Structure 1
């Protein structure tokens, strides 16, 4: 291979969008493990989606080598590429995408777009947030499928990216093609025609990237914006039903009615004389009134994420201890037991210690304050 060849292959805007995509993809993956960072996760996801869409458009109107028409998708070319890669360490490389990177870029772009779309839909359907929040009520039962699809595609993308990075490192250190620096400087050690970018390309590309970043920052920093706004509002139970509010918050946190299905509330109120080892001593007419309110606003009637999952698990069991459900155990499995025993939380049923707005019916991921500060006794 003649190492004196040097061709300008990747434009400045192409490189910027590439590295924004890399950084935002990994940032999305990391933030996905922290429920309280959901808004940040979605905002970064907007950058990912925006850069992927730019690849689609840039592949049509962008400079040579970035265009889809320049990609090499023939399977015989892909086979020859790998055979030649093994057989000839110092083979001559071509400018632009080789057959392997052509397929990688194409598949990552479309898998990434589907992954982002499933994420935005999941955010609207499962959480009731964002531009698809109107779908929550009708399609909440599809949230599990969407969740599995989103997670599967995220891990698939991660595997594909690591495979791509491995290939780049092999090119860099074994084939000595200096491939890593190509996406930094824009120049590739290959013989070919330098690209040129028109003023129109530069203007439209720059405005687009800036616009995507502005939307992402706006969605994260501005409360109640169209990209993250929830369809669920805070509920004043005191105003809606004072008897429920007073009697059920006198001794412990007020538990929103949507956290238990109707059967469970009826069972709990029926056993008011043995209410967690206490006798509530409520008048039967009051019990009936409170039970009516609880049943009317139970998990059966709600499309909030917690209501849907709890109702699906215990609707026919009459279980009314939420901390004994598999759903509660699953979402709290990574919290150390000592957190529940410290002098702020004290017990597992003290939900307000970690969930801000809990007594107003707000159990959003972003409202979680975890872990609470442990003070010495």
Structure 2
């Protein structure tokens, strides 16, 4: 399950971190669109259901507001966490059951989620990470779960990169194949003169001038790909936003007031890594290709998109302070790691330590003549 998240980036930072490869070519940042009705998104280290948090949707979704017109393929649209069905009668604040999470096993059966999914209302929920509580006998220990740092991901992608030179009859075609979180990047440069095609050697001393030029162009292509990939991850070189599959709906009032946009996080049975903490976890979309397929309800049918709804091992976690248990605590301490081997401080123990340290300080300030001396036995 997913009952608490953290999302600390400002709107412009979120848009930069969510850049993507557009259909027209090149990188594009999604446009930010404020929620209707004057609701606001507030960055927080401790987000509870009911708050408005950023989600990505396709720009073809229209809600009849002035901000509908956008020039990008994707939109970052803050929505209320906790789905309100479009057919709900009465106040949107009085849904009689919890809709914070949507179980993947039954999402195509329950009308609350089946109806919006059939209408193509698929979204990607953004967060720094989410909290989960591990039950340890009588108490629960909170953990913060997040994607691995960008540095670790980049190193893994670099190691898996594949660079090949392919020979063709009318010249040489340089074919770059690069596995990454953005999918497979393929670019071809035609009519580069070279006598034969082969794997590019690391040492250029054995190459003729044409081969050296070819290797430089290949390196330039790869460097450009790296820059695009870094833009996808955002300005922070280590921070990677978590992308969770979600379903949203639009509730409209009969009095003509602004619609209420709300969502639910889709959950799956936990992977072995997550099972150590809890038996459920959000369905995480790992690549830009998976994100695109989940968002593109016009071209990717639901039957295909649900193939990306699964558990993943690509997560990291650490224990955090139980101050996160209270959703009113919003400080950065909510996500900071703690050492479980150290004894937990309590108000009484803190008072005792303060009293002891005060006594030692007063004793050290006394003149030597007034200090109690003990005679040797």
Q: Same fold (TM over 0.5)?
A: no
TM class, shorter-chain normalised? under 0.3
- TM-score under structure 1 normalisation? 0.22
Higher relative contact order, chain-length normalized (CA < 8 Å, sep 6+): 2
- TM-score under structure 2 normalisation? 0.22
Higher strand share: 2
Higher helix share: 1
